[in-house]
Amino acid sequence: MGKKRIIQKTEDELLKERERVEAGMRKELKVSAVQGTKDGRIYVSSSYNNTIITLTDSKGDVLTWVSAGSIGFKGTKKATPFAASKVAEAICSVAGKLKIGNVAVFAKGIGSGRESAIRSLASHGLKIISIKDVTPTPHNGCRPPKVRRV
């Protein structure tokens, strides 16, 4: 296997890299401010196992996302309404930093965290323009198996 070598960067290199990253972020925020991302979209995907909330701009380009697992919930606790409200709280803080105030909410899935996430979004200062349920429904589905004969 050999020895592992860790390349240490000097302070000057680290400062230059940091400035480059911050300049890119400033440019991105300026572009988004020009395009008017005061309006945004929030997609709430709630399943039996997890709740994922995605924040996009008005065109649908993803700005950020947060899930119950990324916050620190594990196992069956990820699918609880409490975890969904914490995820919504985290998304609201990011939306505040990006200066997004008006959002259209698209809820998808059958989990228990859907409604509590939407309530939490409203209570944390986001102005909800519309709420739409985009849960996919099967149109008659696939063919069922044959009846079992014993």
Q: 39-133 belongs to which CATH class?
A: alpha beta
Quote the pLDDT of residue 43. Answer: 96
Handedness of CA 146, 147, 148, 150 (dihedral sign): negative
Please calculate the CA angle 68-119-54 and round it to the nearest 5 degrees.
Answer: 45
Quote the pLDDT of residue 87. Answer: 92
Quote the pLDDT of residue 104. Answer: 94
Quote the pLDDT of residue 27. Answer: 54
pLDDT-flagged residues of the chain (< 50): 30, 34
Handedness of CA 69, 126, 123, 109 (dihedral sign): negative
Domain residue spans in the chain? 39-133
Quote the pLDDT of residue 19. Answer: 81
Q: Are 94 and 65 in contact (CB under 8 A)?
A: no
Quote the pLDDT of residue 90. Answer: 92
Residue 138 Cα to chain centre, angstroms: 25
Task: Record the pTM.
Answer: 0.69
Quote the pLDDT of residue 55. Answer: 94
Quote the pLDDT of residue 137. Answer: 87
Instruction: Write the CA distances from 61 to 42, 43, 48, 110, integer angstroms.
Output: 11, 12, 26, 25
Quote the pLDDT of residue 26. Answer: 61
Quote the pLDDT of residue 140. Answer: 86
Nearest CA to 77 among 29, 119, 111, 36? 111
